[in-house]
Amino acid sequence: MFPEEFSIEEGLELYNRDVQTLGQMADGLRREACGDLVTFVIDCNINYTNVCVSRCRFCAFYRSRGAEDAYVLSIDEIMEKIGEAVRLGATQILMQGGLNPDLPVEYYEEMLEKTRKRFPSVQRHFFSPAEIQFMAKVSGNSLKETLERLVEAGLQSIPGGGAEILDDRVRKKVSPNKISWEEWKEVMVTAHEIGLPTTATMVFGLGEGPEERVRHILRIREIQEETGGFTAFIPWSFQPGNTVLARREGIRKASGIEYLKVVALSRILLHGAIPNIQASHVTQGTRVAQVALFYGANDFGGTMIEENVVRATGTVSQYIAPEKIIRLIRDTGRPAARRDTLYNILEG
Ligand code: SF4
DSSP labels for 70-96? --B--HHHHHHHHHHHHHTT--EEEEE
Backbone angles phi, psi at 26, to 5 degrees: -65, -40
Work out the end-to-end distance of the chain between its first and last CA atoms, rounded to an integer number of angstroms: 32
CA of 302 to the centre of ligand 1 (A): 21
Looking at ligand 1, which residue's alpha carbon is closest to its atom 4? 56
Looking at ligand 1, which residue's alpha carbon is closest to its atom 1? 59
Contacts of 13-22 spanning 24+ positions with Cβ under 8 A: 14/265, 14/268, 14/269, 15/210, 15/213, 15/214, 15/261, 15/265, 16/210, 19/257, 19/260, 19/261, 19/264, 19/295, 22/261, 22/264, 22/265, 22/268, 22/295
Residue 299's H or E segment, with its range, is: strand 299-302
* Local confidence pLDDT in tens for the 348 residues of the chain: 455 689 999 999 999 999 999 999 999 999 999 999 999 999 999 999 999 999 999 999 999 999 999 999 999 999 999 999 999 999 999 999 999 999 999 999 999 999 999 999 999 999 999 999 999 999 999 999 999 999 999 999 999 999 999 999 999 999 999 999 999 999 999 999 999 999 999 999 999 999 999 999 999 999 999 999 999 999 999 999 999 999 998 898 999 999 999 999 999 999 999 999 999 999 999 999 999 999 999 999 999 987 777 777 777 667 899 999 999 999 999 999 999 999 999 998
Yes or no: say if 214 and 182 are a contact pair by the CB < 8 Å rule.
no
Backbone angles phi, psi at 81, to 5 degrees: -65, -40
Paired sense of beta strands 345-347 and 336-339, if any: antiparallel
DSSP one-letter code for 290: H
Classify domain 8-347 at the CATH class level: alpha beta
Identify the CA nearest to 297 among candidates 255, 261, 253: 261
Atom from ligand 1 closest to the CA of residue 128: 2
Q: How far apart are CA 181 and CA 212, in angstroms?
A: 12
pLDDT score, position 311:
73
Looking at ligand 1, which residue's alpha carbon is closest to its atom 2? 98
DSSP one-letter code for 30: H
pLDDT score, position 318:
75
99 lines ligand 1 (CB under 6 A): yes
Count other C-beta atoms under 10 Å from residue 176's C-beta. Answer: 12
For residue 233, the cross-strand partners are: 200, 277
pLDDT score, position 1:
46
Q: How far apart are CA 238 and CA 314, in angstroms?
A: 12
Yes or no: say if 334 and 341 are a contact pair by the CB < 8 Å rule.
no
Which one of 56, 133, 173, 183 would you pick to mutate in the ligand 1 pocket, going by the greatest count of ligand atoms within 8 A of its CB? 56
Which one of 45, 46, 94, 99 would you pick to mutate in the ligand 1 pocket, going by the greatest count of ligand atoms within 8 A of its CB? 99
pLDDT score, position 265:
98
- Using a 10 angstrom Cβ sphere, with 0-12 exposed, 13-18 middle and 19 or more buried, the burial of residue 245 is buried
- Using a 10 angstrom Cβ sphere, with 0-12 exposed, 13-18 middle and 19 or more buried, the burial of residue 335 is middle
How far is C-alpha 202 from the geometric centre of its chain's CA atoms? 7
What Rg value do the Cα atoms of the chain yield, rounded?
A: 19
* Cα 103 to Cα 1, 124, 287, distances in angstroms: 51, 19, 40
CA of 288 to the centre of ligand 1 (A): 26
Which amino acid belongs to residue 346? Answer: L
345-347 β-sheet, strand order? 299-302, 38-41, 336-339, 345-347
pLDDT score, position 308:
72
Return the sign of the alpha-carbon dihedral for residues 38, 43, 48, 50: positive
